A and B are shown apart, each in its own frame.
Chain A
Amino acid sequence: MSALARAAMDPPAPAPIFDLARTRGRGPADTFRTFAVSARLGWQLEANWTDPFLFFVYSVAKPVSSALILVVMLEVIGGPAGRSFRPFVVVGSALWSFVISGIAGLAWAILEDRERYRVLKYIYVSPSDFLVVLIGRGVARLVVGLAGVVITLVVGVVALGVPFDVAVVDWPLLAASSVVGLGAIIALGLLMAGVCIQTRQESWSYPEAFAGALFLVTGAVFPLAVLPAPVQAIGLLAPLTWWIAGVREALFPGGPDSIGGPGSLFAALLGHPSPTGSEIVIALLATGGVATLAALAVFRLSDRRAKRAGLYDRTTGS
């Protein structure tokens, strides 16, 4: 029997009534649900820890190798300068894997959903807030990045002789830096997502390239003081510089400092050698706020241009 005939035999369904309330949504509950679903999706697509291979790649091999590259670079030179520098580079390198995960997570969500799964247009026109979906997708990678940070630090302490004393950790500074820093990283990811809406399929490497450029100016693996003053100034405007300094200072109080020191622009401007914890948090808040506003502006601009040029449902490739 045809579907039509079956339908004819069924009792008639009540006439659909347009429910205006559905167009208004349920506010925060909808937002939270969207976020949770997107995060779960991102988790399943990219970061499922039940797959030991994925865990090994993203949370062990990549971040630990990055740290080892720097450790061997110091060893090559040898001498006291190299050895005293080791905790500095291990912590910076560990934190950097978190930065890359955060920035790439959001940008790759755009590229994957548009070019590979071809669902970006459907997500975009769904009632869910597109921004919330993107952030949700990116969170999974952030969690993977966080695991990478922890594992690299553990490897650093256990195998590479990084001195760590849990009793001296400045927990308030760590908490404040982490929370505000997380916001700044997501903002930078959003900025890259805005860029990747405009670019072609092969822009997979763009988030890492962007992060790589920030690597130079944020004092992740060497003190800013070795850079020319104008480049130091750029670094001081980047929230990641303050986030790394904050976490480093919180975990290793009194250790080598990436922002101040002899010859640093910070010392020249503020008159004291190194930033205090509160200075770090205030600077992080200020630069993070500016970065967030800038990222939102870039994303909105990109969104508008994408709608005008029909970029959400294109596939590129070359």
Chain B
Amino acid sequence: MAASTMSFLERAGTGPREAARWSRRQVLLTDLRSVRGRAYPRVKGLLREPSWVLFEILLPFLATSAFVFVYRAIDAPQQYVGFVVLGGALSAFWLNVIWMMANQLYWEKSQGNLELYFAAPMHFMSILFGMAVGGMVMSSTRAATVLLIAGTLYGVTFSVDQWALLLGVFLLTLGALYGLGMVLASLFLVWGREAWHMGQLFTEPVYFVSGLNFPVARLGFLGALSVAFIPLATGLDAMRQLAFAGAAFPAGTPPPLVEVAILAAMTVVSIVAARWMLIAMERRARRDGRLSVRWQ
């Protein structure tokens, strides 16, 4: 880029052929800055319209509380209250992945942003990463609030033996969740309007098969299948095992270390798949003229 002291009128730098050839460093920096750029409106939006504190944090916290009271109504052991609280915290990330990642490209297209993103020189994955980072700020706040307030209010006692592993599982869960979000984003781009309904399918039914409020092992084969394929189920089960060490867990799901491996595989596979799918989807969208057609 040319010196900043020059007016935009005169600033030309090298010729067009040279300007089109970027070093690896330039490419990397642009991708990183694009992550920051895309995360920016998300974070600004949170600061600018604080209604999300009520609707994204406080009210969902009350919904989580309802499940705590279900267990209380049937005199369940205290650790089950902990299961609900942990599920409520992680569901914040899942909702973020579905509504603010997977469905987002469809919105970007409606708003006319998608074609500008594709016409810009950064890798499109940076846009998805930017969305993820911006979304994580909100989801993390919600998750932390649920954990702190519900943990305190309902007397949840965590019993952690392996803090590092728990942190690792959490980070890997985020990686796998947002990786899946990227895959879904490129799929939803092609599905268009159907994507919205698909997002609906990914809420309660996924909560059920992921064991949001109960140990997923209770679902037997279905639970094992979920742990193998749904990062929410895998992450939640691993974190429950690590955060409530010593609690009695029903048999049927693997130990945390195996789930760590599953999560790591999910992360890698989903990011590679997202990258590949984005290229394929972009090519298909360019071929079919779908990058800028709204409302389909």
Q: What is A's interface to B at a CB cutoff of 8 Å?
A: 53-54, 57-58, 61-63, 65-66, 68-70, 72-77, 79, 81-82, 85, 89, 115-117, 195, 198-206, 209-210, 212-213, 215-217, 220-223, 226-227, 315-318
Chain A residue nearest to B49 (CB atoms) is A200
Question: A212 to B111, Cβ gap below 8 A?
Answer: no
Which of A202, A209, A318 lies in contact with B63, CB distance below 8 A?
Answer: A209
Give min CB distance, B215 to chain A, whole Å. Answer: 7
B265 within 8 A of A: no
Is the beta-carbon distance between A58 and B63 smaller than 8 angstroms? no
Docked complex Cα distance between A223 and B75 (Å): 13
Write out the residue numbers on chain B whose beta carbons fall within 8 Å of the beta carbon of A66: 204, 208
Interchain CB contact under 8 A, B200 and A53: no
Docked-complex contact B55 and A57, CB < 8 angstroms: no
Least distance between A273 CB and chain B CB atoms (Å): 17
List 6 tightest A-B contacts by C-beta distance, closest first.
Answer: A212-B63, A318-B45, A209-B59, A222-B73, A213-B62, A65-B204
B90 to chain A, nearest CB (A): 15
- Some 11 contacts from A to B, beta carbons below 8 A apart, are A53-B194, A61-B201, A65-B208, A66-B208, A73-B70, A76-B80, A199-B49, A215-B66, A221-B70, A222-B70, A317-B41
Known: A69-B212, A199-B49, A205-B99. A77 touches B60 (CB 8 A): no
Say whether, besides A65-B207, A116-B110, A200-B45, A210 and B55 are in contact (CB < 8 Å): yes
Q: How many residues of B contact A (CB 8 A)?
A: 51
Once A116-B295, A198-B51, A318-B41 are accepted as A-B contacts, the answer to whether A212 and B60 lie under 8 Å apart by CB is yes
Q: In the complex where A69-B212, A222-B73, A317-B111 touch, is A202 in contact with B45 (Cβ < 8 A)?
A: yes
A107 CA / B165 CA spacing, docked (Å): 42
The CA-CA distance from A117 to B294 in the complex, in Å, is 9
Nearest residue (CB) in A for B74 is: A81
Segment 185-242 of B: residues with Cβ below 8 Å from A: 194, 197-198, 200-201, 203-205, 207-208, 211-215, 218-219
Determine whether the beta carbon of B55 is less than 8 Å from that of A77: no
A212 CA to B68 CA, complexed, in Å: 13
CB contact between A226 and one of B58, B67, B72, B208 (< 8 Å): that residue? B72
**10 additional contacts, CB 8 Å, given A200-B49, A209-B60, A212-B63?**
A65-B207, A69-B214, A73-B71, A73-B214, A213-B59, A215-B66, A222-B69, A223-B73, A317-B107, A318-B42
Cβ-closest chain B residue relative to A80: B74
Q: What is the CB-to-nearest-CB distance from B100 to chain A, in angstroms, rounded to a whole number?
A: 7
Closest chain A residue to B113, Cβ basis: A317
Bitwise, B255-267 to A at CB < 8 A (1) or not (0) is: 0000000000000
Which B residues are in CB contact (< 8 Å) with A53? 194, 197
